[in-house]
């Protein structure tokens, strides 16, 4: 048997990426390509009174200036997640109304990017501005009844209680590859080169937008330079580019500038969360009351359900979850790595730490004592759960038993030292996928699917799964991803690509061997040569089983960290980190650990640095590039020790694998804040924990 799964394998796409051979969106070369440049609103609320484009239209190389007055017609898609979906429901340039600063108000098309950018400065826009509402503290909120949940007496505050409010800041995805698109019409057929986390849904969405059959749309996205949720669906700039390209009958490239990315490609919405916990002196929880306030834009409705993880973490007879939403003059928020779970766990894990200190109990013990075996909202048991193992293993690897039991009792080199921990969780999701596997006479295997790799290692995961199923070396397997001409590979989001795609790959490989009437690919190749056929080929699909309604599927983890705090400078350094994850069976140990490390780095940035503030008067972001948006560098990050525990979750899928892309970020910010409390004795409930707060 060719044992591959569970080992550490280098990326199949690694060499292509580091040598520049990987082709990203803007690098596709097309004859007759023209360039677009966006013009965006400088007010956050109001309307366009007048827009003058004549000077821009006469500028050298300019081919078109498109505004709400001459926007080509597109149809409104269903926006239902099954047939089509846009990141922002309002179609671009659909009227003269301005809902947020940075909203697209025009597009200049020219022969070169420089000409388009220069001409954009010549477009004169007169606004009729209204005062914007961008401050969540001044907004009015409405309760969302479909999210509100209650069991027992949610108001029960007997025992020892804690009440605290925790906030998170607006965060940006800040992917290395800016959002971009090339739209190329050939007659009534459209080819789109665009970073897409869901190739076939992109295809169907463009088909609906332009009233053509899906087979007339081809989506090409072999490589994505970062997404984190912001490239699941087409954005307004994408719709605009494709519409103008059709009108001009020229392939059109549009790259969103780094400054425009702050408003036109989504963000993680800021949140305010109030936790009320009550427990007996021995730590047994009596009540969990979790209320969340967040916002959406006037252009669409997006909800950050921070209460989603609360009922899966800790058991309490009295549980109350409440979500409230306001509408602000801001760009539409969107999905960002563990979109609801990450901010939700920041608040819950911070509150659990505070309660542990109040009860004079070990924070690890408090979590173990209150672990729930069922999803308290659905009543379903978990298919597999090894959270306790994560906590025990993490505590042992970190040396948690040696933790000083009082704050401000540990120092090194004149700096305060603190230890903190938090649990982690994320739902295990799985979708419908299809894969084609082709075995050739030269002992090579070709695998085709539209499912893609946005940097998580899908090329390698697919190859490893096939290598073990067929008994061939990984080097013999060629994987092609990210093209709508291939079978539907599903969504690369929600940490579900591996769990969805691997079972389909396994099944297709088994079908190939069945067709060859052989037990291994080596024997199948001999049979293939004797048959005179060009290949043995099979297409197979995988979908969640009917038993999925009987179980709650979830991944788990625990983080332990050490920080050093220089109170005079207000400086925090994370100096040690241990993460232990329960994600079912691990396919590629190297890639999985890398995913956790990336999540931890992102979470440290959230805890200590990342925020996008808005000017309260203009509503414009004061952050506009990668110099003004602060995120961690190598010097900010220690060695991150990653371990996996748990057994294959065979109830979830035939391989027992669950996703790892998002569970690793949940709880990270809380672990950092909890360590800072242990170091300083000061409790910080507002992210990020910046030097001014530490020195205040």
Residues 6+ apart with CB under 8 A from 135: 328, 616
Give the residue ranges of DSSP H helices in 453-496.
458-470
Cα 385 from chain centre: 23
What pLDDT, on the 0 to 100 scale, is given for residue 527? Answer: 83
Q: Cis check for the bond before 688: say yes or no (omega within 30 of 0).
A: yes
With pLDDT > 90 as the criterion, what percentage of the chain qualifies?
A: 92
Question: Is 119 in contact with 65 (CB distance < 8 Å)?
Answer: yes
pTM of the shown model: 0.97
Confidence of residue 545 (pLDDT cuts 50, 70, 90): confident
Torsions phi, psi for 174 (to 5 deg): 50, 45
Q: Looking at residues 461-465, what average pLDDT do you find?
A: 97
Confidence of residue 8 (pLDDT cuts 50, 70, 90): very high
Confidence of residue 571 (pLDDT cuts 50, 70, 90): very high
Helix pair 497-516, 521-531: axis angle to 10 deg:
50
d(CA 197, CA 483): 11
pLDDT tens digit string along 366-402? Answer: 999 999 999 999 999 999 999 999 999 999 999 999 9
User: Is 546 annotated in the active site?
Assistant: no
pLDDT tens digit string along 289-315? Answer: 999 999 999 999 999 999 999 999 999
Q: For strand 217-220 and strand 189-194, is the pairing parallel, antiparallel, or unpaired? A: parallel
Residues 6+ apart with CB under 8 A from 546: none
Where are the domains positioned within the chain? 14-21+431-543, 32-131+176-226+231-264, 336-345+355-428+551-695
Task: Tell me the chain's radius of gyration from C-alpha atoms.
Answer: 26
**Can you tell me which residue has the tokens 């199949």?**
12
DSSP letters spanning 381-408: BBS---HHHHHHHHHHHHTGGG--SSTT
Residue 265, CA distances (Å) to 172, 208, 231, 236, 499 in order: 9, 21, 8, 9, 27
Containing 194, the helix (H) or strand (E) segment is strand 189-194
Question: Is 677 in contact with 607 (CB distance < 8 Å)?
Answer: no
> Of 283, 274, 279, 282, which is closest to residue 310 (Cα–Cα)?
274
DSSP letters spanning 549-588: GG-B-EEEEEEEEEEEEETTTTEEEEEEEEEEEE-BB-S-
Residue 615, CA distances (Å) to 50, 578, 620 in order: 25, 38, 5
Residue 156 has pLDDT above 70, yes or no: no
Residue 574 has pLDDT above 70, yes or no: yes
What pLDDT, on the 0 to 100 scale, is given for residue 548? Answer: 78
pLDDT tens digit string along 428-458? Answer: 999 999 999 999 988 899 999 999 998 899 9
Residue 646 has pLDDT above 70, yes or no: yes
Q: Looking at residues 71-95, what average pLDDT do you find?
A: 95
Residue 206, CA distances (Å) to 185, 203, 214, 215, 217 in order: 12, 5, 8, 11, 7
What pLDDT, on the 0 to 100 scale, is given for residue 463? Answer: 97
pLDDT tens digit string along 218-234? Answer: 999 999 999 999 999 99
Cα 351 from chain centre: 25
pLDDT tens digit string along 194-217? Answer: 999 999 999 999 999 999 999 999
Question: Is 346 in contact with 171 (CB distance < 8 Å)?
Answer: no
Tokens of 643: 């371990």
Fold match flag (14-21+431-543 vs 336-345+355-428+551-695): yes
Helix pair 589-608, 668-680: axis angle to 10 deg:
50
Averaged pLDDT of the chain: 95
Residues 6+ apart with CB under 8 A from 204: 83, 84, 214, 217
d(CA 86, CA 93): 15
Residue 12, CA distances (Å) to 22, 193, 480, 661 in order: 12, 22, 11, 18
Q: Looking at residues 649-653, what average pLDDT do you find?
A: 95
Tokens of 21: 């051979």
Question: Is 579 in contact with 442 (CB distance < 8 Å)?
Answer: no
**336-345+355-428+551-695 under CATH 3.40.1170.60, yes or no:** no
Work out the burial of residue 515: count CB atoms within 10 Å of its CB; fewer than 13 is exposed, 13-18 middle, 19 or more buried: middle
Question: Is 282 in contact with 290 (CB distance < 8 Å)?
Answer: no
Cα angle 664, 144, 201; round to 5: 55
Q: Looking at residues 20-48, what average pLDDT do you find?
A: 97
d(CA 39, CA 421): 46
Question: Is 394 in contact with 559 (CB distance < 8 Å)?
Answer: yes
pLDDT tens digit string along 38-67? Answer: 999 999 999 999 999 999 999 999 999 999
What pLDDT, on the 0 to 100 scale, is given for residue 529? Answer: 81
What pLDDT, on the 0 to 100 scale, is given for residue 379? Answer: 96
Residues 6+ apart with CB under 8 A from 530: none
Question: Is 481 in contact with 415 (CB distance < 8 Å)?
Answer: no
Residue 280, CA distances (Å) to 162, 284, 285, 316, 370 in order: 12, 5, 6, 11, 11
Residue 509 has pLDDT above 80, yes or no: yes
Fold category of 14-21+431-543 in CATH: Aldehyde Oxidoreductase; domain 4 (3.30.365)
**DSSP category for residue 430:** -
What pLDDT, on the 0 to 100 scale, is given for residue 520? Answer: 79
What pLDDT, on the 0 to 100 scale, is given for residue 154? Answer: 61
> Of 664, 580, 556, 574, which is closest to residue 396 (Cα–Cα)?
580
What pLDDT, on the 0 to 100 scale, is given for residue 359? Answer: 97
Q: Looking at residues 3-23, what average pLDDT do you find?
A: 94
Containing 680, the helix (H) or strand (E) segment is helix 668-680
Domain 32-131+176-226+231-264, architecture per CATH: Alpha-Beta Complex (3.90)
> Of 181, 27, 38, which is closest to residue 117 (Cα–Cα)?
38
Q: Looking at residues 564-570, what average pLDDT do you find?
A: 95
First to last CA, the chain: 62
Q: Looking at residues 533-542, what average pLDDT do you find?
A: 92
pLDDT tens digit string along 93-136? Answer: 999 999 999 999 999 999 999 999 999 999 999 999 999 999 99
What pLDDT, on the 0 to 100 scale, is given for residue 516? Answer: 86
């Amino acid at each position: 048997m060719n044992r591959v799964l569970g080992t550490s394998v280098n990326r199949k796409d690694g060499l292509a990426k580091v040598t520049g051979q990987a082709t990203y969106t803007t690098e596709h070369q097309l004859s007759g390509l023209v360039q677009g440049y966006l013009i965006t609103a400088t007010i956050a609320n109001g309307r366009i009174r007048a827009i003058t484009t004549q000077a821009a239209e006469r500028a050298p190389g300019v081919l078109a200036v498109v505004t709400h007055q001459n926007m080509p017609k597109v149809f409104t898609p269903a926006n239902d997640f099954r047939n089509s979906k846009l990141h922002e429901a309002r179609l671009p340039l659909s009227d003269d109304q301005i809902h947020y600063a940075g909203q697209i108000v025009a597009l200049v098309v020219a022969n070169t990017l420089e000409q388009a950018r220069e001409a954009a400065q010549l477009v004169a826009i007169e606004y009729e501005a209204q005062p914007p509402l961008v401050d969540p503290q001044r907004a009015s909120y409405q309760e969302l009844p479909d999210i509100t949940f209650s069991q027992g007496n949610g108001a029960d505050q007997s025992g020892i209680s804690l009440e605290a409010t925790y906030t998170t800041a607006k965060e940006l995805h800040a992917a290395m590859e800016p959002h971009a698109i090339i739209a190329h019409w050939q007659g009534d057929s459209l080819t789109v080169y665009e970073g897409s986390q869901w190739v076939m849904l992109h295809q169907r969405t463009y088909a609906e937008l332009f009233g053509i059959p899906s087979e007339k749309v081809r989506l090409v996205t072999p490589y994505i330079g970062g997404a984190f949720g912001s490239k699941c669906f087409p954005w307004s700039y994408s719709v605009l580019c494709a519409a103008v390209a059709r009108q001009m009958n020229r392939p059109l490239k549009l790259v969103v500038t780094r400054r425009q990315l702050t408003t036109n490609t989504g963000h993680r919405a800021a949140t305010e969360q109030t936790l009320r916990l009550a427990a007996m002196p021995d730590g047994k929880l009596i009540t969990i009351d979790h209320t969340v306030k967040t916002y959406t834009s006037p252009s669409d409705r997006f909800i950050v359900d921070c209460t989603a993880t609360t009922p899966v973490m800790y058991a309490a007879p009295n549980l109350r979850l409440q979500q409230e939403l306001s509408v602000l003059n801001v760009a539409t928020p969107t999905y960002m790595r563990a979109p609801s779970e990450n901010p939700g766990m920041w608040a819950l894990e911070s509150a659990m730490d505070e309660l542990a200190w109040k009860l004079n109990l070990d924070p690890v013990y408090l979590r173990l004592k209150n672990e729930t075996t069922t999803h308290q909202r659905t009543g379903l048991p978990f298919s597999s759960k090894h959270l306790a193992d994560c906590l025990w293993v993490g505590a042992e690897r970190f040396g948690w038993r040696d933790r000083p039991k009082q704050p401000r009792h540990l120092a090194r080199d004149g700096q305060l030292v603190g230890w903190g921990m938090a649990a982690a969780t994320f739902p295990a999701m799985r979708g419908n996928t299809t894969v084609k596997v082709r075995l050739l006479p030269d002992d090579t295997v070709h695998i085709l699917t539209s499912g893609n790799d946005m940097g998580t290692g899908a090329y390698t995961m697919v190859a490893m799964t096939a290598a073990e199923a067929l008994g061939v070396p990984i080097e013999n397997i060629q994987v092609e991803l990210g093209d709508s001409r291939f079978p539907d590979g599903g969504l690369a989001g929600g940490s579900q690509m591996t769990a969805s795609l691997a079972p389909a790959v396994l099944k297709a490989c088994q079908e190939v061997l069945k067709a060859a009437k052989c037990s291994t690919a080596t024997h199948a190749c001999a049979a293939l040569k004797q048959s005179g056929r060009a290949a043995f080929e099979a297409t197979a699909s995988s979908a969640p089983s009917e038993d999925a309604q009987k179980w709650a599927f979830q991944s788990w983890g625990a983080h332990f960290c050490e920080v050093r705090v220089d109170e005079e400078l207000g400086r925090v350094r994370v100096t040690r980190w241990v993460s232990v994850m329960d994600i079912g069976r691990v396919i590629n140990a190297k890639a999985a650990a890398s995913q956790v490390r990336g999540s931890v780095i992102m979470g440290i940035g959230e805890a200590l640095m990342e925020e996008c503030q808005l000017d309260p008067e203009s509503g414009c972001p004061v952050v506009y590039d990668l110099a003004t948006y602060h995120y961690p560098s190598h010097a900010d990050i220690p060695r991150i020790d990653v371990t996996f525990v748990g057994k294959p979750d065979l109830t979830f899928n035939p391989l027992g694998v669950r996703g790892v892309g998002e569970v690793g970020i949940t709880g990270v910010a809380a672990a950092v804040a909890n360590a800072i409390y242990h170091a300083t004795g000061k409790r910080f409930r507002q992210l990020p924990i910046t030097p001014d707060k530490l020195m205040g």
